[in-house]
A and B are shown apart, each in its own frame.
Chain A
């Protein structure tokens, strides 16, 4: 194997000090969760478990997917724990058999925020952001009239799993259906990639309102962006950020138990995200609605195709 020799030669001779794998007590975490939330939770876990070091690969959903895909091409996933932003992204790995059966201490996680092999760690709320100078918005239905007067912008369900949740909720819910999405499009609603792009576009006055996630929107408000968060009736669309075990390492289950336990949940709450654990005090911003994830998983491609048929692209 001359190529292996070359590779080893290059690796050893050129940059042996850089890169590097962890030792025996290393846990590899692939995640899409916000940097400071991951940092806070990992620091708390490492303080509790001095023998274990957590190596974090944090990237947007697309890059994490690319990483796992490359892992699978060459064998098995290299991560011990997978912690993502939305259930849909997790479901695709469940369908590919990447997730392992595990028994972390998940007693506190409510039924609507869990599946057999993954558990919700925090709740993300899809809300409306509106520009202070734009028309008033009080309900999801008001977005249609806002789109006609000042423009409305949605995140792309093909790019962001959270955006897919919103589309799936509207498509499945009896009160909305595809007719609602068609009305939005007919009124001139536009699509950008990420929920963060929605906040930027509304703050800069390109659109009067948009659909995005509550926490980054609250951060922008706190920084002084000229936007307001509206908790539209009948409620914000609540989705959960799931975690799963992807290796046989015992520390992986320990880590998941920690994140779902009171200590991990407190750490998550301290970074601004709504915890799933009822024992951690949290004031929810308003009423919440949840969607039928089983149905959303089953109809994923159909819903995405329908969305694309309405909005183009």
Chain B
């Protein structure tokens, strides 16, 4: 028996209590920057639009994202099928591991594992051809996006694709392939399309991966061009290119999302609420050796290569204990690194806290919040590069070089993440408890504090942790917005990487990644035991 879920009908707070802060926040965080970007692009670039348009970078971004999304969808669907049958909680965390590694750290790790002079080169003389270039970009993007597809398709598989139908098909004489093709895949089509779209958007927006694997190969994408042109933007033509590329990238993503959403709604007949169900723990069993191999090759080996590089005394030495040192980690602390760590943590924690509050407000203000919800979701889809340029245009004159401007960009970007995590769990709030509380004389505020929030606590915690992790790892926006004394740890790592010191870069990347993985493993363990 399930009680009716919480809905806006049980309005707990007076409308103004949510509407005013929500309205202010959406105007300040989303509308002003994005409108400013579009307005400035139109007024400053004027007739020179076509001259400034960088076709090569746009084409590169589009095709790498499309191929990566296709690959990621295949991997994600396969993983989801395997995991629903014989996955365990530990494996679930393992499969999600790539999400816990900042994308540009993944790219670094891959080049340390499979690039020239990397671990596999040292061990067996093998390198991945084309790793520095489009091949590497596509593969690492796909590895990064696959867990997202897995999450979407996995939850749909558990709640929607009914095993009975598959069994019935098998019993009626269909072989496994036919059952998959005729029964399972059609049932999953909306989820697969949704997951694939997510993978496409995330890949199109990626900056860290092409920055590490594309730039050295002379392979530009929209995001790396924006970064590079901003460095040359004392030249007005370069600044116009930045504006134009940002607007084009934003438009591409929003159009892709709008078209795909409309198409999926038609296909799915509007029903998509099942994917909001939490993942049930599936017992026992071990995934096949192929999946272990995949995880080792794509995640464990690269991370191990990165750690080994960070431990090695100097470039060109074998990464074995005889050549190990902690000097790179010590050198990583030179200069502003400590300040950067403190700043990064404070920024991520502040962003997580504010975004969770905003996400909760939006989740509570369901009906009045639809327009705002759309704007917030759009801001999440807008690529970080474009969003950062927009925030810089809107608030730069007053807030440039402060952590506040970075915080504004984080909030605009991550509000939707927190909102989704909380809204997805509103189903657990049951109406009867609320009615009981109200009938016993509790005010709306008291009911919210005593009844609703305790039930939502796991969702609030999840939202907080999610935003905190994204904030810790964020590079795309902070690398465009930082100033004297406001660099984050990810930015410091990128700077060192650009100067070519591979061992210290690896040490910094390890420091940036380990806390996130540690936290996730601990959380996974905690959940596993309760």
13 A-B contacts, Cβ less than 8 Å apart? A6-B27, A15-B403, A15-B404, A18-B346, A18-B402, A18-B403, A38-B335, A73-B233, A73-B239, A96-B234, A192-B216, A199-B500, A200-B500
**Cβ-defined contact, A194 with B316, below 8 A:** no
**B187: interface (CB < 8 Å):** no
Residues of B within 8 A of A193 (CB): 215-216, 498, 500
Residues of A within 8 A of B486 (CB): 19
Residue numbers of B with Cβ under 8 A of A are 24, 27-28, 32, 116-117, 121, 215-216, 218, 228, 230-235, 239, 313-317, 323, 327, 334-336, 343, 346, 350, 354, 392, 394-404, 407-408, 483-487, 495, 498-502
Residues of A within 8 A of B313 (CB): 223-224
**Cβ-defined contact, B407 with A8, below 8 A:** no
Given A8-B398, A206-B117, the answer on whether A198 and B500 have CB atoms closer than 8 Å is: yes
How far is B203's CA from A80's CA once the two chains are assembled, in angstroms? 41
Number of A-B contacts (CB under 8 A): 162
**Cβ-defined contact, A205 with B117, below 8 A:** yes
How far is B487's CA from A211's CA once the two chains are assembled, in angstroms? 31
How far is B406's CA from A14's CA once the two chains are assembled, in angstroms? 12
How far is B327's CA from A130's CA once the two chains are assembled, in angstroms? 24
The segment out of A50-58, A137-145, A249-257, A292-300 that lies at the interface is: A50-58
Given A96-B234, A224-B314, A225-B314, the answer on whether A70 and B484 have CB atoms closer than 8 Å is: no
The segment out of A61-69, A114-122, A167-175, A234-242 that lies at the interface is: A61-69
Beta-carbon nearest neighbor of A30 in chain B? B484
**Cβ-defined contact, A57 with B484, below 8 A:** yes
**Cβ-defined contact, B315 with A28, below 8 A:** no
Residues of A within 8 A of B484 (CB): 28, 30, 55-57, 67, 78
What is the interface of chain B mostly: helix, strand, loop, or mixed? helix
**Cβ-defined contact, A204 with B233, below 8 A:** no
Choice from B323, B397, B495 contacting A63 with Cβ under 8 Å = B495
**Cβ-defined contact, A19 with B232, below 8 A:** no
**Cβ-defined contact, A58 with B239, below 8 A:** no
**Cβ-defined contact, B402 with A55, below 8 A:** no
Choice from A36, A72, A192, A312 contacting B234 with Cβ under 8 Å = A72
Shortest distance from the beta carbon of B498 to any chain A beta carbon, whole Å: 5
Residues of A within 8 A of B500 (CB): 192-200
**A60: interface (CB < 8 Å):** yes
Given A14-B407, A19-B404, A200-B500, the answer on whether A206 and B116 have CB atoms closer than 8 Å is: yes
Interface size for A (C-beta < 8 A) is 63
Shortest distance from the beta carbon of A70 to any chain B beta carbon, whole Å: 7
Residues of B within 8 A of A199 (CB): 315, 500
Residues of A within 8 A of B24 (CB): 6
How far is B484's CA from A306's CA once the two chains are assembled, in angstroms? 36
**Cβ-defined contact, A15 with B350, below 8 A:** yes
**Cβ-defined contact, A204 with B234, below 8 A:** no
**Cβ-defined contact, A10 with B404, below 8 A:** yes
Residues of B within 8 A of A73 (CB): 233, 239
**A126: interface (CB < 8 Å):** no
How far is B486's CA from A57's CA once the two chains are assembled, in angstroms? 9
How far is B232's CA from A92's CA once the two chains are assembled, in angstroms? 11
Residues of B within 8 A of A30 (CB): 484
**A226: interface (CB < 8 Å):** yes
**Cβ-defined contact, A203 with B234, below 8 A:** no
Beta-carbon nearest neighbor of B234 in chain A? A69
Given contacts A10-B404, A203-B315, A225-B317, 9 further A-B contacts (CB under 8 A): A19-B401, A55-B485, A63-B495, A66-B231, A68-B234, A200-B502, A201-B117, A206-B116, A224-B323
Given A6-B32, A11-B398, A18-B403, the answer on whether A194 and B117 have CB atoms closer than 8 Å is: no
**Cβ-defined contact, B495 with A60, below 8 A:** yes
Residues of B within 8 A of A59 (CB): 487, 495
Given A14-B404, A36-B334, A70-B400, the answer on whether A62 and B343 have CB atoms closer than 8 Å is: no
Residues of B within 8 A of A35 (CB): 334-335
Given A14-B354, A55-B484, the answer on whether A226 and B233 have CB atoms closer than 8 Å is: no
Given A15-B404, A62-B228, A200-B315, the answer on whether A39 and B399 have CB atoms closer than 8 Å is: no
Question: Nearest 9 A-B pairs (CB), nearest first?
Answer: A196-B500, A204-B117, A203-B316, A57-B484, A223-B314, A197-B500, A69-B234, A19-B402, A62-B231
**Cβ-defined contact, B239 with A69, below 8 A:** yes
